[in-house]
Structure 1
Amino acid sequence: MITLTKINNDRITVNAIYIERIESFPDTTITLTNQKKLFVKDTEEEVKEMVIQFYKEIGLHQVQREVGDQTK
């Protein structure tokens, strides 16, 4: 789980596994696998770093890297 700051300054905790896409429009927009969108104050780079850290904590970081390596 990662904790983000929404545009209205509310904090929200999201299961990073459900993040499909992170974009900057300039606000950071996170699209979840169910196509719902979250608009947050955290930068795209900050969110990506939080997701990577979350994957490391639950042991998925190496799996994600190995799968990514196979698609080259």
Structure 2
Amino acid sequence: MVRVTRLNNTEILINYFQVETIEACPDTVITMMNGDRYVVREKPEEIHAAFRRFLSSMVAEGVRLSKEA
């Protein structure tokens, strides 16, 4: 999950695996697979970087757990 900020300054968590598109027009719009759309303050590049950090942390945790097994 990645935290983003709506235009009204409320924070929401976005499930990476449910994101269909992220576009700047000029505000950033995140469209989910179910059709829900969120307009957020972060730029697409920032969201992409946050998703990469999220995925990296998941891989690192998987490696850690496999070493414990």
TM-score range, shorter chain: 0.7 to 0.9
Identity %: 32
**Equivalent position of 2:15 in the other structure:** 15
TM-score (ref. length: structure 2): 0.80
Unaligned runs of 5+ in 1: 60-72
What TM-score results when the alignment is normalised by the length of structure 1? 0.77
What's the CA shift for 1:43? 0.5
Look at both structures and tell me which one has the larger radius of gyration over its CA atoms.
2
- The CA deviation at 1:17 is 1.2
Gaps of 5+ in 2: 60-69
Q: How does 1:48-63 map to 2 (within 5 A)?
A: 48-59=48-59
Asked if residue 39 in structure 1 is aligned to residue 25 in structure 2, the reply is: no
Corresponding residue number in structure 1 for 2:29: 29
Runs of 4+ in 1 over 4 A off after TM superposition: none
